[in-house]
Amino acid sequence: MRQKIVAGNWKMNNDLWEGMKLASEVVNMAKDEVKGQVKLLLIPPFVSLKSVADLAKDSTNVFVGSQNCHEKENGAYTGEISAGMIKSVGAAYIVLGHSERRMYFNESDELLAAKTDAVLQQGLTPIFCCGEQLDIREAGTQVSHVTSQIEKSLFHLSAEDFKKVVIAYEPVWAIGTGRTASPEQAQEMHAAIRNHIASKYGNALAEEISLLYGGSCKPSNAQELFACKDVDGGLIGGASLNSRDFIDIAKSF
């Protein structure tokens, strides 16, 4: 069965103390309230990564990841952080290619292919983000846009490596806007992504990949989104900053 995942991308929010408070609340509530096979991920800013990972160390359903990494292992790249460093503090996931990184830091498909390799090389799980801007959706070319992002950054991987990747579909027009994709729009894209993966790696492998939806996902709409056949969870921004909301989303399967 595909892994169900609800990941909280804190973005540039929460200092160390705020982050530790939120992480402890989530770890405690997840223990009592989140049953079954759902994995929760906390994705804090780098400075809180070690402390949040320590808080989640004994949890059976809360794991930790970072929001980005550099593509090189080490070297003279002032201000950057490698996948190996992230691994060393106890994080197991790395988000790559979030639309904010593509937009504000000019991350290209090629760069994201290199970052994916760097993450896999450390034995960590990449959460690869893709999604179209509003003008692309209005032009009706969203499926080819998204499948091309996946193809350019991930299709060089062997089947064995591709199997380790989690993909998050996040329509840019839905991120932080309060405007969510409808369940039909989410399902249509997720099915198209899975078909595209199947065309390269075969049906059996495509069926194993966890595909998350992201973009204004909250307790009031998570249930209808997670009920879609090809939606295996969510990448949550704003609503992950509140432990009650985040846990309620995780209980929406």
Q: Nearest distance from residue 112's CB to ligand PGA, in Å? A: 16
DSSP string across 187-216: HHHHHHHHHHHHHHH-HHHHHH--EEEESS
190 classed as catalytic? no
> Given the complex with ligand PGA, which of 120 and 217 has the nearer CB atom?
217
What is the Cα gyration radius of the chain?
17
Contact between 216 and ligand PGA per CB under 6 A: yes
Stretch that binds ligand PGA, among 84-92, 112-120, 184-192, 210-218 (CB under 6 A): 210-218
Residue from 214, 225, 233, 251 touching ligand PGA (CB under 6 A): that is 214
Structure-token pair, residue 161: 């490596």
| Residue of 70, 107, 170, 190 marked active site | 170
Residue from 217, 225, 228, 247 touching ligand PGA (CB under 6 A): that is 217
170 classed as catalytic? yes
Burial-class residue 54 by CB neighbours within 10 Å (0-12, 13-18, 19+).
middle
List the beta strands (DSSP E) in the chain.
4-9, 38-43, 62-66, 93-96, 125-130, 166-169, 211-214, 233-236
Contact between 130 and ligand PGA per CB under 6 A: no
Residue from 44, 65, 131, 215 touching ligand PGA (CB under 6 A): that is 215
Query: Which 3 state secondary structure label does DSSP give 11?
Result: coil
Q: Is 4:39 a contact under the CB 8 Å cutoff?
A: yes
Q: Which residues bind ligand PGA (CB under 6 A)?
A: 9, 170, 175-176, 214-217, 235-239
- Catalytic center residues: 98, 170
